[in-house]
Amino acid sequence: MCGLAGFVNLDGAPADHAVLSAMMRLVAHRGPDDRGTRMFSLRSHDAPDSAFGFHRLAILDLSQQGHQPMANADGSVILVYNGEVYNAFDHKPLLEAAGYRFRSRSDAEVLLYLYEHVGLDGMLERLNGMFALAIADLRHRQVHLVRDHFGIKPLYWTQVGESVLFASEAKAFLAHPAFTPEVAGAFVDEQLAFRYVAGDATLMKGVKQLRPGHRLTIAGGGVATARYWSIPDVPAAPPTRAGEVDELHALLQTSVRSQLVGDVPVGCQLSGGVDSSLVTAFARAEGAAQNVFSVVFDDPKFSEAPWIEAAASITGAESHAGLFTAESFLDPLEDATWHMDQPISVPNSLGIWQLARHARPYATVLLSGEGADEVFAGYSRFQNASQLTADAFVLTTLFQRPSKLARLRPESNLPAVIERRAALFGEGQGDPLGRCVKYEMQTFLVDVLMRQDKMTMAHAVENRVPFLDRRVVEFARTLGAESLVGPGGAKAIVKAVARRFFSDGFVDRPKAAFNLPLSQYFRSARFTALMEDQVLPGIRQRSLVSEPAVRALWKRALAAPAVTEVFWIPVALELWAQQFLDGRRVRTPATTA
């Protein structure tokens, strides 16, 4: 896991190494083990007009042979790559037979030679893993940016004047002299209504995410994006097949085994829920991931401690559970907001922050259960999904009621937001439930993965997600509704596998959300001071949302815990704006605690 940054000057202007270094400093926390740069030209002359920078977190091949940027034998192809490709070494015999000689044990070198040998399309169709990468092909005078199939690894880009900038984290653009941070006013309503912006947009004007399964090519003075892979559509009314549970069991076992690879300690992120417990069970069956990491609370209404202890005991893991307190929420707010690149609208992201910080002395890699709910229809909104139209299902994912949004932002235009989201829903075809699941994977899942990545990489910890192995997802997309939301309840087939490791009582208990006791934190003198001295004055001056409406929500939040997260959304927006728009804090944070 690593951090990359770079730019291409489309007009051939000289590349400034000082600018590249400044951009790299803002992603340095992602890769504390090594650093590298490469200047090159996409034109016929020798003066460099483009640059790649890289900070490495060494996972495979800890030697200098894994140094990046990495180039082929004649220097005509240059790669920077963030991620892990779990089937990379399956392709090594093909490349060795073709005459390629490997100098490292890194998957990056496999990708480099695969590109050279079979081209971009041939390389991408062979990959199973998580990745964000940039390839400079000096033979064809092109730079390619690519993001993995599901968006596990982030990749941002923007064009300012004649320069195209790209990086693992959008904050890197703040270091470029031509970039001026502004809020993308067109997406504020979506942020407030859903807690995140979907598709290729971000809250920063002009800054885009490269969508999952997409690539971007910079060539001939221009930029073009294209989809290279789509989440498969589910055929209408697919039949139930014999042996589905056995098939999923085998696929998950293979996925977890492949994701345990590494030359550093590997652990598991254990919430106590079915998904992370199942991943832990498979990892422990391989004799790996002895250490598991969790967040617990004093208040039993919020804590999953009994289930965490049960899962650790059953799997024979050593549990490291960190107590989350008001200080755990308030202390890292500034740092975590900076690392997130967007508002921390989902407060439990700070739980992931604490978990990764506590895990870092024990493990550099953590496997988690993320993706299972989105791929296997684990949320209650999927129960009647087959009966809903596009707009109706989109509305089930709305976090803030229209009346509250109208009070927060009188000029809001929720129908336009729903129309944008419905267009994403329309990218799916076939089975009605399958379309709803595909929409969830293309929207909410991408945000879940971004939050996981940013909060773990803030502490130089790599997060891996076995449920998002390509083979697992492609299998899931052949399943009928009764295998997902049938008599076994939501995520029925996953629970059937889990029962092979855990009791019915463990598997069938009501699903618990990872909530924080926010009302306790909001009553503290420290939070009151933050609101009165910093947040509310900023909201009043910025005028993105109504300060009286936020103040009224705060008052209600103190007395009615059920609305606390609704109140938190505009607060998180303001805390983000103060750093990313006002320049309140633009510095390189510490890489670890």
pLDDT in tens, 468-477: 999 999 999 9
Q: Peptide bond before 32: cis, by omega within 30 degrees of 0?
A: no
3-state secondary structure 3-17: EEEEEEECCCCCCCH
Whether residue 566 is predicted with pLDDT greater than 90 in this model: the reply is no
CATH superfamily of 2-227: Aminohydrolase, N-terminal nucleophile (Ntn) domain (3.60.20.10)
Average pLDDT, the chain: 94
Which position has the higher pLDDT, 481 or 513? 481
Ranges of each domain in the chain: 2-227, 244-294+358-508
| For range 232-249, the mean pLDDT | 90
- Each residue's pLDDT tens digit, 353-396: 999 999 999 999 999 999 999 999 999 999 888 788 999 999 99
The arithmetic mean of pLDDT across residues 28-46, rounded, is: 92
Q: What is the mean pLDDT of residues 548-567?
A: 83
What average pLDDT does the segment 233-261 reach? 93
Question: Is pLDDT at 486 greater than 80 in this prediction?
Answer: no
**pLDDT attached to residue 586:** 46
pLDDT at 183 over 90: yes
Instruction: Specify the pairing of strand 365-367 against strand 462-464.
Output: parallel
Give the model confidence (pLDDT) of 284-338 as tens digits.
999 999 999 999 998 888 889 999 999 999 999 999 999 999 999 999 999 999 9
Phi, psi dihedral angles at 335 (to 5 degrees)? -60, -45
Kindly report, residue by residue over 125-176, the tens digit of the pLDDT.
999 999 999 999 999 999 999 999 999 999 999 999 999 999 999 999 999 9
For the stretch 5-29, pLDDT in tens is: 999 999 999 999 999 999 999 999 9
Start-to-end Cα distance in the chain: 18
Q: Average pLDDT, stretch 200-223?
A: 97
Compute the distance between CA of residue 51 and CA of residue 173 in angstroms, rounded to an integer. Answer: 14
Residues in the chain, overall count: 593
pLDDT of residue 592: 35
Mean pLDDT over 422-432 rounds to 94
Using DSSP bridges, classify how beta strands 129-137 and 163-167 pair: parallel, antiparallel or unpaired.
unpaired
pTM for the whole structure: 0.96
CA-CA distance, 509 to 506, in Å (whole number)?
6
Architecture of the 244-294+358-508 domain: 3-Layer(aba) Sandwich (3.40)
User: Would you say residue 479 has pLDDT above 50?
Assistant: yes
* CA–CA distance, 172 with 176 (Å, rounded to integer): 8
Cα–Cα distance measured from residue 500 to residue 282, given in angstroms and rounded to the nearest whole number: 11
Domain 2-227 identical in fold to domain 244-294+358-508: no
Q: Is the pLDDT of residue 564 over 90?
A: no
